Structure 1
């Protein structure tokens, strides 16, 4: 299992198309199903929608995944242009990027805050710059009052403190940020990664969090951004467009946002508008080549 995930991380990190400011990672590959895999779990590991796995591999949802089955996967994506150093978390992308001196150290899927809970937006992951203010191994969870209230409303036992262990939602590793209540932590619910199901915190798979915890420096900086549309130009001059759902309904017009990015990059004469419109309609979350 670790070998397979390592290969996918290497594939994700291999910048097939890099220019002075644009980086495109990932791409088309094949994933081989292993024991215990589910579609949602594979999507969480690789950063792809499980529904797309079904569509592109003509899977029958009434049949269990067979061990050894080879699935076509495309997780090509654009690294956001925000900073040359630190952590970048793009909410619509559901991805964390860690850069040092302009070099991408790692990138992996994360779980983020639910868009709506009983009509409220209070669990959305906020945007903003931050610092890592604390690193802790095997942390206890001091349950916030707001989550205690939710537990009570849902008829669940109300916890006040959850000690370290297999039932602790914070897992074994936590990075506390300077944004109040927002933490980057391991999760005990792997299929919640690459989903919007948290109370605002950033959930990370165990194999990714262990490495990040080891590599990240105290006082490291980062930023949580909201970019449902990303554009990049490869060193060969190809134009790539990546479109996600406007999950928090913050932008009124993704088409207008796309046109702004195209004008800013001065690539109007290099693109196929039919491909652009198809990407806007599909919102696949995959960096698509929209060049002429």
Structure 2
């Protein structure tokens, strides 16, 4: 579907709702990188929403373009290729580092959906944990907790006890309550914040994406939240590496943090398979941390 929409001149004026792919045995890589020709009216924020990409994703993939005034007639990279997170492919998996949610529907085990999300900012971190959806709410009211009301009051803003459903409600049109007290998957009335660390810990989706996800999931669906700054995955006999800054880096904000586990995983692959590794490609992926999968090696055919 997306390939038919590339080019601002033929854009139909509505956002793409998430993305989905069929999976085959041994496949860890989905989607593909696409391109968009920038028009004079474009901003990176608007383009990101059109194609179902988060703010940080599109900025990291296009570091030379101005966010609000990208040069017209330039080709902008759409990072719509992903290595799937490690671990079980069941229910919902949120990778904080890439600020992206994956949904593996139980009724279609060979399919995956994916949505960009906004997560908690520094001091209000979205936790690494495992939980479940405990209820689904259409047109939710928002009851600001005392901690948020106090923070707002310190900034000179007095929040009411309840903000009813509607355009002023920061929860958007739908919410999925989690077994983790105080945390939700929800829409937003500020879609520009999707793909950023801006919330008080909750997980924000584009307005059109929360509607789609709300219809897909049931109460009881498991949510696994991980923080994987790097992901390794296979497509056929090609090995790919995808690198992001850690969700909450301990050093300089946005600095890539890649654990020594990467070296250990590559060593494990060497020990079990004939791998031809491109060390320069590995280093480039680590240096750039663009979030775009990079081919770093290939599996050699074993001789009988």
TM-score, length of structure 1 as denominator length: 0.84
Offset, 1:291 = 1.7
Check 1:69–1:269 CA distance in 2 against 1; reply closer, same or farther (3 A cut). Answer: closer
Q: Deviations over 1:45-68 (max 9, x none)?
A: 32323253352xxx46684676x9
Q: Distance in 1 between matches of 2:290 and 2:276?
A: 22
2:235 aligns with 234
Q: Distance in 2 between matches of 1:3 and 1:86?
A: 31
Secondary structure of the residue aligned to 2:208 is: helix
Secondary structure of the residue aligned to 1:72 is: strand
Secondary structure of the residue aligned to 1:270 is: strand
Q: Which of residues 42, 45, 49 is equivalent to 1:40?
A: 45
1:284 aligns with 290
Q: Distance in 2 between matches of 1:142 and 1:162?
A: 6
Q: Deviations over 1:95-115 (max 9, x none)?
A: 00000253233101000011x
1:29 partnered with 2:38: no
Q: Distance in 2 between matches of 1:2 and 1:225?
A: 35
Alignment of 1:200-279 (within 5 A): 200-235=201-236, 237-249=237-249, 254=258, 256-266=260-270, 269-279=275-285
Offset, 1:263 = 2.4
Q: Distance in 2 between matches of 1:63 and 1:82?
A: 40
Check 1:51–1:278 CA distance in 2 against 1; reply closer, same or farther (3 A cut). Answer: closer
Secondary structure of the residue aligned to 1:208 is: helix
Q: Distance in 1 between matches of 2:177 and 2:68?
A: 42
What is the aligned residue count?
A: 276
Check 1:268–1:248 CA distance in 2 against 1; reply closer, same or farther (3 A cut). Answer: farther
Tell me, yes or no, if the aligned pair for 1:140 and 1:161 is still in contact at 8 Å: yes
Offset, 1:256 = 1.4
Check 1:60–1:151 CA distance in 2 against 1; reply closer, same or farther (3 A cut). Answer: closer
For structure 1, the 5+ residue unaligned runs are none
1:157 aligns with 158
1:132 aligns with 133
TM-score, length of structure 2 as denominator length: 0.81
Q: Distance in 1 between matches of 2:155 and 2:125?
A: 19
Secondary structure of the residue aligned to 1:174 is: strand
For structure 2, the 5+ residue unaligned runs are 1-10, 299-304
Q: Distance in 2 between matches of 1:63 and 1:80?
A: 33
1:74 partnered with 2:79: yes
Secondary structure of the residue aligned to 2:175 is: strand
1:50 partnered with 2:59: yes
Q: Distance in 2 between matches of 1:29 and 1:245?
A: 22
